[in-house]
Amino acid sequence: MVPEYKKIRLKFQKTGNAKFISHLDLDRTMKSVLTRAKVKVEHTHGYNPRPYLVFSLPTSVGTESLCEFLDIKIPTEDDHTDIPERLNKNLPPDIRVTDVYIPETDFKQITDAEYKLVIISPKITKELADKIKPLFSAPVFIEKRTKKTESGFMDFDITPYVKSIDAEFIKDGELEINTVVSAENATYINPEYIIKALCKYLELDLSDPNTCLYTVLRTNVYKQNKETFN
């Protein structure tokens, strides 16, 4: 008898060391965590059965997130309310499941994502911070990898994809930027591009681990009309 399955959505955070896990590795981690927590999930039916795991909008390596989503299918009769607790017992401390529910939306409805970027560098001053907002009123080019050109790189204008950007000067040496960027399939951009652009236009070098740091944290994802997606 083929059991019936229901789709449930897990909302989770991925911070600290876990930000360095690639999407593929997150998939593997979640797979084994579900097994450890004895959450029965539907598997594919081919030669190499794998659990059906569907993630929303993967973050790139190095990006932390407070709002990641994972859809799984579990047997209809199974209770799902205690799943976050069971998973959290089996997850590394840097990944936490915060919610579970039957989803009413589809990942395709996601339009934008909001990020908090923090830049720490001795070069950060008030004047520098003030330069950021007007910067995006004209095209901002970054170098992007491509297969289309011979050099393997092309100049790419990110302004159309940056829906809003707000720079807040915290103190000398520290800057906080809140930005909403497009997250639709065709127009998704990596928030690291903004960091890249700032490095280029503000002549920042953030590679020295003794003085510089930047962090990227996804704080929210939105569907149309800037409603929070869940």
Q: Where do contacts with other proteins occur on this chain (CB under 8 A)?
A: 16-18, 20-22, 24-25, 28-29, 31-36, 43, 47-49, 51, 61-62, 90-94, 120, 206-215
How far apart are CB 97 and other proteins at their closest, in Å?
Answer: 14
Question: Which of 32, 224 has the CB closer to other proteins?
Answer: 32
Question: Which of 18, 197 has the CB closer to other proteins?
Answer: 18
Question: Which of 90, 178 has the CB closer to other proteins?
Answer: 90
Question: Which of 87, 221 has the CB closer to other proteins?
Answer: 87
How far apart are CB 43 and other proteins at their closest, in Å?
Answer: 6
How far apart are CB 164 and other proteins at their closest, in Å?
Answer: 25
Question: Which of 20, 153 has the CB closer to other proteins?
Answer: 20
How far apart are CB 218 and other proteins at their closest, in Å?
Answer: 16
**b/e map of 158-178 (b: 16 or more CB within 10 Å)?**
beebbbebebebeeeeebebe
Question: What are 226's two structure tokens?
Answer: 């800037």
